[in-house]
Amino acid sequence: MANITETIPNDTEIEAMVTPRNKRSAEIIERKRQVKRRLDDYLEQAELRKNLDDELF
């Protein structure tokens, strides 16, 4: 029977995976983070509004 092991990357390896290789890549990554942050904020607000509406009725 085969012995399969999974390794979890350490912090250095993770950082190397997400570190941009040039200025354009850094801009793209930052833009994606900003969009994700805005989407998370929007979804959180929508959930709060829904919960408030449920409590009122």
Alpha-carbon gap, residue 35 to 29, rounded angstroms:
10
Q: What per-residue confidence (pLDDT) applies to 8?
A: 73
Domain locations in the chain as residue ranges: 24-56
Q: State which amino acid sits at residue 19.
A: T
Confidence of residue 14 (pLDDT cuts 50, 70, 90): confident
Provide DSSP, 7-54. Answer: ----HHHHHHHHS-SSHHHHHHHHHHHHHHHHHHHHHHHHHHHHHHHH
How far out from the chain centre does Cα 47 lie?
Answer: 18
For 15-53, the pLDDT digits (tens) are 777 777 888 988 888 899 899 999 999 999 999 999 888
Q: State which amino acid sits at residue 32.
A: K
